[in-house]
Structure 1
Amino acid sequence: MRACVIRAAKDLHVQAWGEAELQPGEVRLDFAWGGICGSDLHYYHHGRVANSVLREPMILGHEFSGYVREIGPDVNGLTVGMAVAVNPSRPCRHCDQCAAGMLHLCRNMRFMGSAAHHPHTNGGFAERPVVLGSQCVPLPHGFDPRLAALCEPYAVALHAVALGKITPGASVLVTGAGTIGSLVAVAARKAGAGRLIVTDIAEQPLRRIADVTGAETYVVGHPEADHAAEQAIGEVDVVLEASGVASALDMALRRIRPRGRIVQVGFLPPDARLSLSGLLIREVTLVGAYRFLEEFNEAVRQICAGEADLAPFVTAHFTMDEAEAAFAAAGDRTQNVKVLLSFGA
């Protein structure tokens, strides 16, 4: 089969990749659609994501859907030809966090398309990826598998919003209008946000979010615009920081009401310089959001039921043979939110 393989920064190839016999609990899929994530872009541009450094060739991709092609021993609930969304999490189910029900914080997590361990954990951007049957969530007959590729990032958004503890009518600020910020805005509105505000340095993604959610939007990124935006925003009950930029968290600390709640969704760089005095003098709760728990199945349910309209955020489609162009498009936030890949007919 062919697979989209990253070897080092800017060293991306669609190449032949061997296939193994299925082990108990495994299924082989025919790849349908996959979304390029920010972590995929980091591996492409930098050869690493934080401390996860490429040391060997690795198949990319953890946002994908497929059709069941072959079923191994000890797999129940799946049939050949069934369309599925794939949860890329593979917790060990034995560590203290797994025992406590915090599978997303597993100390030995094998997350697909990740170089966190050696050997690396291959992702799903392959013609016939192999996954555990337990990772597969069946899709309704005839459902568009392109939208199913958004289940993973929407699950991240749902988890972040749950941690925000949004009450009906609450004022909510989302900083960052990339894929996760866009989906966080959708999830926040669905969770009952009254006044919903989104900020970003680019105007195009803000227009798209406003069209979908009715949010107030503000372009930020230079002192005059920042000042004007903050004056218009005033105080808010909850901030969901999805940009991973220190200045956005600084603004969140200035805009949050006393005893408000800030959820850090975006990864801040390790050298980020922050002033946390506002956290103390207003007794603000700052909590991190990492991946998802049961929200993956809820994401599948909402998307399949049409309760969350994510189609406007799919902005480009490429075949896997156009992977280089697809990664370039995914890195252009002025034009694209979610770029999808397939292996074509």
Structure 2
Amino acid sequence: MSMTTTAVVAHGAGDVRIQNVDVRTPAPDEAVIAVAYGGVCGSDLHYWRHGAVGESVLRAPMILGHEVSGTVVQAAADGTGPAAGTRVTVHPARRERTTVRFPDDRPNLSPGVRYLGSAARFPHTEGAFAGEVVLPAVMLRALPEALDLRIAALAEPAAVAWHAVSQAGDLRGKRVLVVGSGPIGTLAVAVAKRSGATEIVAVDLHAKPREIARAVGATRTLDAGDSEGIAGVDADVVIESSGNHRGLASAVKGATRGGTVVMVGLLPNGDQPVPIAHAITREVRLVGSFRFNDEIDEVIPALADGSLAVEPVITHTFPVDETLKALTVAADSSVSGKVLLAF
């Protein structure tokens, strides 16, 4: 198969190109997917702006993207995975062997995981922002009839939010504070609502994300600068999704005594100035949350039946040839939520 397809390729900081790439020949356990939509993630923005995500530095051109939906155009030759014509979304993690210890039931913590569109290893793991992409059949998740491809592109980030919220345990009757109302934060609001939280307070610097948070279930919102208001929330559970130390400080202060703070926003490497004594004297539980495991298999039916209502999180859709405009809009959280590319 010597076909080519249009792809979004990061070459380095400030250098993302829309270019033709070869569609490689699938292995027997791989399928060919015609991609319909791709969601722009914070990591895609980091590769575009900085040529790196933390310690994952671009050393060669790499196709971006790991939040995608589409249709199988060629099923895996070995008979595994969905048949041709099946509409799918993608679980972007592929497990590989490692000698490093991690809990067996939490494969997301294994360093032996390759993630689509990641420069963590070399050669890099190509992403899925392309018209046609070859993927292991095991990554594909068939979609219910009721779920359209546009919403299905949110299955991966919704699974990240689902995993984060589940780290806090049962939310029924609880008061929840979400710090940082970007796409993951607003998806966490939607998951918390579905999980039975009675009060959900969402925080952000900008009005637009707060508006999206209200649309998906926040009972009220606060400006990120209102430190007194945030401290007064006295939340049973806090989801920290801002990814900066000020947000984590707000999260610690907004938690009730004996409460739980789930840290899903990835802070920069190195030491962070956070009022940690406050967490110690109040016995606040601080819990990390990284990617997800099988939560995507619970997310898909919840998206399909409407019990996880996420439509307002999607604010923009751009054709793939306007990718640079899409990245620019996605990088401005004062105007956008989740930005999709249409292939």
TM-score range, shorter chain: over 0.9
Q: Distance in 1 between matches of 2:124 and 2:259?
A: 40
**Secondary structure in 1 matching 2:177:** strand
Give the counterpart of 1:162 among 166, 169, 180: 166
**Secondary structure in 2 matching 1:64:** strand
Match of 2:190 in 1: 186
Match of 2:303 in 1: 303
**Secondary structure in 1 matching 2:114:** coil
After TM superposition, list the pairs within 5 Å mapping 1:86-97 onto structure 2: 86-92=90-96
Give the counterpart of 1:58 among 41, 59, 62: 62
Q: Distance in 2 between matches of 1:143 and 1:228?
A: 38
Match of 1:123 in 2: 127
> Cα deviations across residues 118-157 of structure 1 (Å, max 9, x unaligned)?
0000000011111111111101236310111000000000
Match of 2:112 in 1: 108
TM-score (norm 2): 0.94
**Secondary structure in 2 matching 1:90:** strand
Residue identity matched to 1:236: A
State the number of aligned residues: 338
TM-score (norm 1): 0.94
Match of 1:245 in 2: 244
Shift of 1:275: 2.3
Match of 1:283 in 2: 283
Residue identity matched to 1:244: G
| Pair 1:34 & 2:35 matched | no
Shift of 1:110: 0.6
Residue identity matched to 2:166: A
Contact 1:75–1:133 (CA under 8 A) maintained in structure 2: no
Moved more, 72-81 or 259-268: 72-81
Distance 1:16 1:328, change over 3 A: same
- Unaligned runs of 5+ residues in structure 2 are none
Residue identity matched to 1:226: S
Identical pairs, percent? 37
**Secondary structure in 2 matching 1:123:** coil
Match of 1:48 in 2: 52
Match of 2:293 in 1: 293
Contact 1:263–1:287 (CA under 8 A) maintained in structure 2: yes
Shift of 1:98: 7.1
Q: Distance in 1 between matches of 2:35 and 2:56?
A: 25
**Secondary structure in 2 matching 1:55:** coil
Q: Distance in 1 between matches of 2:84 and 2:77?
A: 13
Distance 1:99 1:241, change over 3 A: closer
Distance 1:305 1:97, change over 3 A: farther
Contact 1:93–1:99 (CA under 8 A) maintained in structure 2: no
Shift of 1:212: 2.5
Give the counterpart of 1:212 among 206, 209, 216: 216
**Secondary structure in 2 matching 1:335:** coil
Q: Distance in 2 between matches of 1:256 and 1:142?
A: 38
Q: Distance in 1 between matches of 2:82 and 2:307?
A: 25
Q: Distance in 2 between matches of 1:292 and 1:72?
A: 25
Residue identity matched to 1:306: G
Match of 1:136 in 2: 140
Distance 1:273 1:99, change over 3 A: closer
**Secondary structure in 2 matching 1:45:** helix
Shift of 1:226: 2.2
Q: Distance in 1 between matches of 2:278 and 2:228?
A: 17
Contact 2:31–2:134 (CA under 8 A) maintained in structure 1: yes
Residue identity matched to 2:238: V
**Secondary structure in 1 matching 2:216:** helix
**Secondary structure in 2 matching 1:17:** strand
**Secondary structure in 2 matching 1:6:** strand
**Secondary structure in 2 matching 1:113:** coil
Q: Distance in 2 between matches of 1:93 and 1:311?
A: 38
Match of 2:150 in 1: 146
Q: Distance in 2 between matches of 1:288 and 1:66?
A: 31
**Secondary structure in 2 matching 1:129:** strand
> Cα deviations across residues 287-311 of structure 1 (Å, max 9, x unaligned)?
1000001101111111112211111
Q: Distance in 2 between matches of 1:167 and 1:304?
A: 22
Contact 1:189–1:196 (CA under 8 A) maintained in structure 2: yes
Residue identity matched to 1:193: A
Shift of 1:173: 0.6
Contact 2:185–2:241 (CA under 8 A) maintained in structure 1: yes
Match of 1:230 in 2: 231
Shift of 1:94: 5.8
> Cα deviations across residues 229-272 of structure 1 (Å, max 9, x unaligned)?
434x2x11111100012112112222222221110010112242
**Secondary structure in 1 matching 2:132:** coil
**Secondary structure in 2 matching 1:213:** coil
Match of 2:8 in 1: 4
Q: Distance in 2 between matches of 1:144 and 1:160?
A: 25
**Secondary structure in 1 matching 2:27:** coil
